[in-house]
Amino acid sequence: MSSPPTQPPLDPEAALGDALPDPVLAPRALAELREAFAPSLEVSPEADARVLHTLHDYRRKKAHSAGFWRGFQIAAVLAIVASFMFYMNRRNAEMAANSAFAKVAAEQREAAKAREESITHLADAGAAEKTDDLNATTPLAAATYAYAVPEKPTILDVLNLARRVENSPGATAKRSRSGFKPTGEVVSPFEEVNELAAKVVGAEPSQVPALADRALAARDERDAFADSSSEGAERHDAPRFNFSPAMPAVAPAPGFAQPGFAETRILSYDIMLDVGSRALAAFQIEISMSAPDTARVTLMGVRGGDHPALQRQPLFDSRRVSKPGSHTTFTIANFDTGKDLPTGDVRVARIVLVVVGPGNPGVTARLVIAAGLEGIPIPAGLRVVERAPISGSDLKHKQLEKVVDDAETLTPAK
C-alpha cells in the first residue's frame, strides 16, 4: 500500500490559530481539522476566532458566578454561626441571672457601690470634722481604708465575714476548743474569721484561738461567780461574734517592784469615738506610744469600752505591745455582729500604761476605719483622753489589777 500524501504545513492558518484564547482546543488542531474535513470557504478564520472568544467569555462569567455563590455560602455559614453564638451567650446570661450565684454577685456589686459612696462621704465629712484630741487629731480625710487592698484587710472585712458565716447554713455548732461566741452558750469555730482577725492586728493565726480559749474560760468563771452571788439577777446574752482575748501577762519593768520608788505610776488613756446618730459595729485604731528618755513605759493591757457590745477586750497583738521600748505602734480593733450597738460619743477602749521614772509618755491615735450596722464605713471623730494618774512609792505588781479597776471611777485629768 502506498502511504497517504503528506499535507503541506498550514502556516497562515496555524499562526492565526495560535492567537486564539482557547485553553481546551489547541489552535493548530483546529486548523488541521478544517483542512481534513474540507471546510467551506464561506466560514472565515475570523468567525472561528469570534466563536472561541465567545466561549471564553462564557467560561469566565461562569467562573465569576461560581465564585460569587461560593462567597455567599461562606457568608451565610458565618452568619448562622454568629447567630448561634449570640443565642448561646444570651441563654447563658439568662441562666446565670436565675442561678443561685446571681444574688451573691448582685450583693457584692451593691456593697462595692456603697463603699465608694461611703468613702466619698467620709472625705467630705473629714474636711469639716474637728476633734479635741489631747495629743493629736487625725483628720478623717487622711484615714486609710486598707480594706480595698486584699493583702491588708481591716476589721470591716472581719465583721462582714463573721456575719456571712453566722448566717450560713450549718454555722451553729457545739462548744469547741476555740472560736467566737455568737449567741448564748453556742460557740461556732470559724477558723476563717479567726485567721482574718489575726491578720488585721498583725498576730499569728494560731495566737487568736489560744487567746479566745483563755477568754472563754475566764468569762465562764465570771458568769459562774455572778450566778452564785446574785440570785434572780437577769443575765445578758453575750454579744454576738465579739472577739475576747484574755489580757496578756506583762512582766514588771525593772525597778518597778522596788520599795520606795516614788516615780512609779499608772496612766490610763480613754480612746473615744464620736459617731453621732449612727450605730458603731466595728472600729480599727492605730495606737502609737513613745517613752521619754528618763522613763521606762510598759503597756499593761488594753480594756474594752463602755457599751455592752464593745466591753470585751479589743483585738491586739500582745507580743508586740507588751515589750517596753522607746517607740511602739500597734493596732487595736473590735466588732460586734449584734444589733444593740453604741451611738454618739462612746469610749471604745482604754490603754493602761505602767511608767517607771520621771517624764510622761506620748500616746497618739489614728483612726483606720469605723463601720456601721450596714457593714460599710462611717465617719467618726477620734480623740484620746488622759485620766488622772495613780502613783505611789508602795505600788507593787500584785496590786496593779486592783488599781486599774479603781481607775474606772477616776475623773479625766484636767
249: cell is 501577762
CATH topology of domain 264-409: Immunoglobulin-like (2.60.40)
Cβ atoms of 273 and 378 closer than 8 Å = no
Q: What burial class does residue 95 get, using C-beta atoms within 10 Å of its C-beta: 0-12 exposed, 13-18 middle, 19+ buried?
A: exposed
pLDDT tens over the chain, length 414 residues? 555 555 555 555 555 555 555 555 656 666 676 677 665 556 666 776 777 778 778 888 888 787 788 888 888 889 999 999 998 888 877 776 676 566 666 777 777 777 677 666 555 544 444 444 433 333 333 333 333 334 678 888 888 887 777 776 554 443 343 444 443 333 444 667 777 777 787 776 665 654 454 444 444 544 444 444 444 333 334 334 444 333 333 334 444 444 334 578 888 899 999 999 899 989 999 998 888 888 888 888 888 888 988 888 888 876 655 556 678 888 888 888 888 899 999 999 998 888 888 888 888 999 999 998 888 899 999 999 988 887 765 455 545 555 555 555 545 544
Rounded Cα distance, 270 and 303, in Å: 9
Enter the C-alpha cell of residue 192: 476563717
Q: What residue has cell string 489580757?
A: 247
207 CB-contact burial (10 Å; exposed 0-12 / middle 13-18 / buried 19+): middle
Residue 324: all three cell numbers together:
517596753
Return d(Cα 13, Cα 45) in angstroms, integer: 8
Confidence (pTM) = 0.49
The C-alpha cell of 135 is what?
Answer: 495629743
Q: Where are the domains of the chain?
A: 1-99, 264-409
The bridge status of strand 296-303 relative to strand 345-356 is antiparallel
Residues 6+ apart with CB under 8 A from 44: none
N-to-C CA span, the chain: 151
